[in-house]
């Protein structure tokens, strides 16, 4: 096995402090979602909740699931799945907004 093959599969160490900071960020974003649910924002309440949920999912994917350290092809597949999901969400919003 060559040196490049070994370095491609090397362990990626993420410190516990980074995990704790991301966890506190996820808790804060969850609290923000709950707080915004109590405020009358009209149609914007769903949009803001989904934006916050998207940010939280990106944090989980990149940090806790180590997507940042995966191969480009795997990340590309994840981006394609996310774009497909985004298309469905946008189509749902148009149906909800103009119904």
Write down the domain spans for the chain.
Answer: 3-97
CA distance linking residue 39 with residue 4, whole number of Å:
53
Q: Are 32 and 52 in contact (CB under 8 A)?
A: yes
- Residue 99's pLDDT band (cuts 50, 70, 90): low
Task: Render pLDDT for 51-79 as a digit per residue (tens, 0 to 9).
Answer: 898 899 888 888 887 777 778 888 788 88
* Residue 7, both tokens: 């370095």
CA distance linking residue 71 with residue 64, whole number of Å:
16
Q: Is the pLDDT of residue 1 over 50?
A: no
Q: Is the pLDDT of residue 8 over 70?
A: no
Task: Render pLDDT for 17-57 as a digit per residue (tens, 0 to 9).
Answer: 988 999 999 999 999 999 988 888 887 887 888 889 889 98
CA distances (Å), 22 to each of 47, 56, 68, in order?
A: 23, 9, 14
């Amino acid at each position: 096995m060559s040196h490049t093959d070994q370095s491609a599969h090397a362990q990626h160490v993420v410190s516990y402090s980074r995990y704790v900071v991301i966890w506190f960020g996820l808790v804060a974003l969850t609290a923000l979602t709950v707080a915004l649910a109590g405020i009358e924002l009209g149609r914007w309440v769903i949009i803001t909740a989904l934006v916050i949920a998207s940010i939280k999912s990106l944090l989980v994917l990149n940090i806790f699931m180590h997507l940042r350290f995966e191969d480009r092809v795997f990340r590309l597949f994840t981006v394609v799945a996310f774009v497909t999901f985004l298309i469905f969400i946008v189509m749902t919003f148009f149906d909800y907004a103009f119904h």
